[in-house]
Amino acid sequence: MRQSGLHFCCVAHLGIVARSRLREPRLMVKIKFIEHSGQEHDVETNPGASVMVAAVSNGVPGIDADCGGACSCATCHVYVDQEWLERTGEINPTEEAMLSLSTDRKDNSRLSCQIQVTEDLDGLVVTMPEFQF
């Protein structure tokens, strides 16, 4: 009797979850990573993690991420296409400190571990530098 009660609660819970999922469909975000050579990699990823994680977990070459995303190595450096740059958000002070020491820094440089993937960034295009350093 307790068992079937528990079973009923589980089913009811699943029902609630299923209904809320139907109400809010999750959009996969598309990101285009372009290697220095011009080779393109199109990735689809869930919002929430960083652009760096999207690259690394999809085997995109050219992003090293030596520190694993802690904004402390500057080896996840990317150039963000101008039309997307503002939408990636503000550079935080720690990121700025690391980027300011980079030998290949440009106006559209970002550390990809500091760009959070949101639905706003669906279609984002970034290019990797020739070297990570």
Partner 1 sequence: MTDASADQSKWSMVGKDPWTMPIEKIDLSHPGIWQANEFLPFMERLRLEDPVHYCAESAVGPYWSITKYKDIMQVDTSPEIFSSEPTIGIVDTYDEYTLPSFISMDPPKHDEQRRIAQPVVAPANLKRLEHLIRQRVCNILDELPLETEFDWVKEVSIELTTQMLATLFDFPFESRHKLTFWSDAATAIPGAGVVSSNEERWAAMEECLQVFTGLWNERVNAEPGNDLVSMLAHGEATQNMPPMEYLGNIILLIVGGNDTTRNSISGGVLALNENPAEYDKLRADRSIIPNMVSEIIRWQTPLAYMRRTALVDTELGGKQIKAGDKVVMWYASGNRDSEVIDRADEFLIDRDKARQHLSFGFGLHRCMGNRLAEMQLRILWEEIMQRFDMVEVVGQPERVYSSFVKGYTHLPVRLHGLS
**Least distance CB 5 / partner 1 (angstroms):** 40
Q: Does 14 help bind partner 1 (rule: CB under 8 A)? A: no
Q: CA dist 114 to 70, 91, 101, Å? A: 9, 8, 16
Q: Does 37 help bind partner 1 (rule: CB under 8 A)? A: no
Q: Does 92 help bind partner 1 (rule: CB under 8 A)? A: no
**Least distance CB 103 / partner 1 (angstroms):** 5
Q: Which of 90, 70, 85 is nearest to 121 (CA)?
A: 85
Interface positions, 40-59, toward partner 1 (CB under 8 A): none
Contacting residue, 30, 58, 67, 91, with partner 1 by CB under 8 A: 67
Nearer to partner 1, 67 or 91 (CB): 67
Contacting residue, 97, 106, 119, 123, with partner 1 by CB under 8 A: 97
Sheet of 29-34: strand order equals: 40-45, 29-34, 124-127, 77-80, 109-111
Question: Which span sits near partner 1 by CB under 8 A: 3-11, 32-40, 91-99, 116-124?
Answer: 91-99
Could you write out the DSSP letters of every residue in 101-118? T-TT--TTEEEGGGSB--
CA atoms within 13 A on the CB side of 66: 7
CA atoms within 13 A on the CB side of 16: 5
- In the numeric block, which tokens belong to residue 5? 């009660």
- Give contact residues for partner 1 (rule: CB under 8 A): 64-68, 70-74, 94, 97-98, 100-101, 103, 130-133
